[in-house]
Amino acid sequence: MNTQPTLPAIDAGRLPELVRALPKAELHMHIEGSLEPELIFALAQRNKVQIPYADVESLRRAYAFTDLQSFLDIYYAGASVLLTEQDFYDMAWAYLERAKADNVVHTEMFFDPQTHTARGVPMRTVIDGLHRACTDAGAQLGVSAVLILCFLRHLSEEDAFATLEQALPHRDKFIGVGLDSSEVGHPPEKFARVFARCRELGLHLVAHAGEEGPPAYVWSALDVLKVERIDHGVQSSKDPALMKRLAEQRVPLTVCPLSNLKLCVFPDLAAHNIRSLLDAGLVATINSDDPAYFGGYMNENWVQTFAATSLTAAHAWQLAANSFEASFIDAPARRAYMEQLQATFERFAAAA
Ligand code: ADE
Ligand code: ZN
Residue 6 included in any domain: no
Structural domain includes residue 1: no
Structurally, the chain folds into a number of domains equal to 1
Q: CA-CA distance, 298 to 25, in Å (whole number)? A: 9
For atom 10 of ligand 1, the residue with the nearest CA is 181
Asked if residues 54 and 8 have their Cβ atoms less than 8 Å apart, the reply is no
Cα separation, 215 vs 223, whole angstroms: 12
The residues near 255 (Cβ < 8 Å, ≥ 6 apart) are 28, 232, 233, 234, 274, 277, 284, 285, 286, 287
The CA radius of gyration of the chain, in Å to the nearest whole number, is 19
Count Cα neighbours of 144 within 13 Å in the Cβ-side half-sphere. 16
Question: Given ligand 1 and candidates 27, 148, 181, 256, which is best to mutate, with the most ligand atoms within 8 Å of its CB?
Answer: 181
- Contact 252/324 with Cβ under 8 angstroms? no
In a domain, 2, yes or no: no
Distance separating alpha carbons of residues 299 and 302, to the nearest angstrom: 5
Cα(263)–Cα(334) distance, integer angstroms: 33
How close is the Cα of 166 to the center of ligand 2, in Å? Answer: 23
SS3 66: coil
- Per the DSSP assignment, residues forming a β-bridge with 255 are 286
Q: Where are the alpha helices (DSSP H) in the chain?
A: 15-21, 37-47, 56-61, 68-79, 85-101, 113-117, 123-136, 157-167, 192-200, 215-223, 240-248, 257-262, 274-279, 291-294, 298-309, 313-326, 331-350
- Taking the centre of ligand 1 as the mean of its atom positions, its distance from the CA of residue 244, in whole angstroms, is 26
- With respect to residue 232, please indicate whether it lies within any of the assigned structural domains: yes
Q: Which residues are catalytic?
A: 211
Residue nearest atom 1 in ligand 1 by C-alpha distance: 181
> Within a 10 A sphere around the Cβ of 251, how many other Cβ atoms?
21
Distance 33 CA to ligand 2 centre (A): 9
What is the span of the domain harbouring residue 67? 12-350
Instruction: At 183, give phi and psi (nearest 5°).
Output: -85, -55
Provide the CATH number for the domain around residue 337: 3.20.20.140
Asked if residue 68 is part of any domain, the answer here is yes
Atom of ligand 1 nearest to the CA of 181: 9
Amino acid at 267: P
What's this model's pTM, rounded to 2 decimal places? 0.98
What DSSP state is assigned to residue 50?
-
Closest atom of ligand 1 to CA, residue 30: 2
Ligand in nearest proximity to the CA of 111: 1
CA–CA separation, 243 vs 241, rounded Å? 5
Is the residue at 257 inside a domain?
yes
pLDDT reported for residue 1: 66
CA 192 – ligand 1 centroid, Å: 20
- Atom 4, ligand 1: residue with shortest CA distance: 181
- Assess if residue 304 is contained within a domain: yes
Distance 68 CA to ligand 1 centre (A): 7
Question: How many CB atoms neighbour CB 161 within 10 A?
Answer: 15
Q: pLDDT tens string for the chain (352 positions)? A: 677 888 878 888 999 999 999 999 999 999 999 999 999 999 999 999 999 999 999 999 999 999 999 999 999 999 999 999 999 999 999 999 999 999 999 999 999 999 999 999 999 999 999 999 999 999 999 999 999 999 999 999 999 999 999 999 999 999 999 999 999 999 999 999 999 999 999 999 999 999 999 999 999 999 999 999 999 999 999 999 999 999 999 999 999 999 999 999 999 999 999 999 999 999 999 999 999 999 999 999 999 999 999 899 999 999 999 999 999 999 999 999 999 999 999 999 888 7
pLDDT for position 175: 99
- Ligand closest to the CA atom of residue 70: 1
Q: Whose CA is nearest to atom 8 of ligand 1?
A: 181
Task: Identify the CA nearest to 254 among candidates 150, 153, 139.
Answer: 150
Ligand 1 contacts CB of residue 290 (under 6 A):
yes
33 lines ligand 1 (CB under 6 A): yes
Atom number, ligand 1, closest to the C-alpha of residue 75? 2
The residue whose CA has the least distance to atom 6 of ligand 1 is 289
Nearest-CA residue for ligand 1 atom 9 is: 181
CB of 301 closer than 6 A to ligand 1? no
**3 domain-assigned:** no
